[in-house]
Amino acid sequence: MRTKLKFGLLLPHFCEHASVANCLEGAQRAESYGFDSVWVRDHVVFEPHGIEGGDNTHVEGLFLLPAIAAVTNSITLGTSMAICHRHPIYLAQLFAGLSVISNGRIIMGIGLGGFPHEFAAAGYPTAIEQRAELVRSNVQICRRLWAGETVSFEDEYFQLANVALKPCPVRRIPIWYGGGTPAACRRAVEYCDGWMPARTTLATFEKLIGYLRKLCRHANKPMISAAVMPFTSVDKDRATALSKISIESLLGEANKFPTWVKPPSGVFSRLDDIRGLILAGTPADIVRETRAYEAAGADHIVYDLRFRYADWHEQVDLLGQEVLPALTRR
């Protein structure tokens, strides 16, 4: 059955195998295979998660995206997630300029961020409630500037007087809220166009998207976009694909999230407990697990190949030549 899903890739611009050349060539390959989007992360003081080694290389994603726009024609460029450690005027300028350069091929993923030290380094408050207010303020200011308004704005964090922006985006920029919690769902419905929990388990996604639908109904709002970004490894057999992923590290990470749906034991301890967090196996395995997310209600899946960046091009080819055709053929 032909899928209605859209497909994306997280680009290799961070950690040990970060490569601008691989990002540019990979984006071109992705476009040629029919991928819908490519994505970058956003950090100001990058410290890798324990799951991805210790190399803190991080090529600035918002500088990389214009370069990708220049060598592609149709693929959408996304951030997962833009973190509000910039001034909102600068953030609005960045995305307006990127819209002009790419002819509107932009999704702004935005979120609280996972590293409070980055906010401290940028001079912003680190408490999660304050970071949530920073996101809200950034979205409000960006929306108004992008719409061509002359903006005056004042809250606890920002004071603007008669600020205007040119050029404006060539079309409306969708904003997706990042985060795999009920609070993230509420914020996504309240003032964004989509929800992107990024990495989570399938069971947790199923629970939260049910909540998201309920919120949209109560707000008398059409269902917003729902995207996922599972860790992905594709190979000739499942054992080889799984051998490239740090399963123990991911189980440890899963146990840090109190809102995730727990297995019957109450502790994430087996591979089956984190189904959906990892898509690993043969192309047929990836197709099957992708369809499980589609059945749950996802409309955009971004394959996160960070465990396979050492063989990035081969992974992109396998997905593009064997997985996407199986998902998109009639």
Q: Phi and psi at residue 242, in whole multiples of 5°?
A: -70, -30
Q: List Cβ neighbours of 51 (8 Å cut-off, separation of 6 or more).
A: 246, 249, 250, 253
Q: Looking at residue 26, what is its pLDDT?
A: 98
Structure tokens at 281: 């196996």
SS3 272: helix
Q: How far is the C-alpha of 281 from the C-alpha of 279, rounded, in Å?
A: 7
Q: Looking at residue 330, what is its pLDDT?
A: 55
Over 90: is that where the pLDDT of 2 sits?
no
Q: Looking at residue 50, what is its pLDDT?
A: 73
Which tens digits make up the pLDDT trace of 265-302?
999 999 999 999 999 999 999 999 999 999 999 999 99
Q: Phi and psi at residue 174, in whole multiples of 5°?
A: -65, 140
Which tens digits make up the pLDDT trace of 7-47?
999 999 999 999 999 999 999 999 999 999 999 999 988 88
Q: Looking at residue 54, what is its pLDDT?
A: 86
Indicate left, alpha or beta for 76 from its phi (over 0: left) and psi (-120 to 50: alpha): beta
HEC string of 259-283 equals CCCCCCCCCCCCHHHHECCEEEECH
In order of start, what are the domains of the chain with their CATH numbers?
Answer: 6-328 (3.20.20.30)
Indicate left, alpha or beta for 149 from its phi (over 0: left) and psi (-120 to 50: alpha): beta
Pairing of strands 278-281, 231-234: parallel
Structure tokens at 75: 């693929």
Q: Looking at residue 3, what is its pLDDT?
A: 60
Least confident of 67-81, 110-124, 148-162, 213-227: 110-124
pLDDT, averaged across the chain? 96
Structure tokens at 42: 């956003």
Q: List Cβ neighbours of 255 (8 Å cut-off, separation of 6 or more).
A: 267, 268
When pLDDT is averaged across residues 149-155 and rounded to a whole number, the result is: 98
Tokens 């991928």 sit on residue: 35
Pinpoint the alpha helices (H) of 80-127: 88-102, 116-122
pTM over 0.85: yes
Which helix (H) or strand (E) segment holds residue 258: the answer is none
Count Cα neighbours of 58 within 13 Å in the Cβ-side half-sphere.
16
When pLDDT is averaged across residues 53-82 and rounded to a whole number, the result is: 96
Q: How far is the C-alpha of 74 from the C-alpha of 31, rounded, in Å?
A: 7
Over 90: is that where the pLDDT of 115 sits?
no
Query: Which runs of E-coded beta strand occur in 158-268?
Result: 159-163, 175-178, 194-198, 225-228, 231-234
Number of Cβ within 10 Å of residue 263's Cβ equals 17
Q: How far is the C-alpha of 219 from the C-alpha of 281, rounded, in Å?
A: 40
Tokens 């189980």 sit on residue: 251
| Integer CA distances (angstroms), 19 to 58, 231, 311, in order | 10, 19, 12
Q: Looking at residue 198, what is its pLDDT?
A: 79
Q: How far is the C-alpha of 12 from the C-alpha of 152, rounded, in Å?
A: 39
Identify residue 148 by its one-letter amino acid code. Answer: G
Residue 194's pLDDT band (boundaries 50, 70, 90)? very high
> By C-alpha distance, which of 176, 166, 164 is closest to 77?
176
Longest dimension (CA), the chain: 60
Identify residue 328 by its one-letter amino acid code. Answer: T
Q: Looking at residue 299, what is its pLDDT?
A: 96
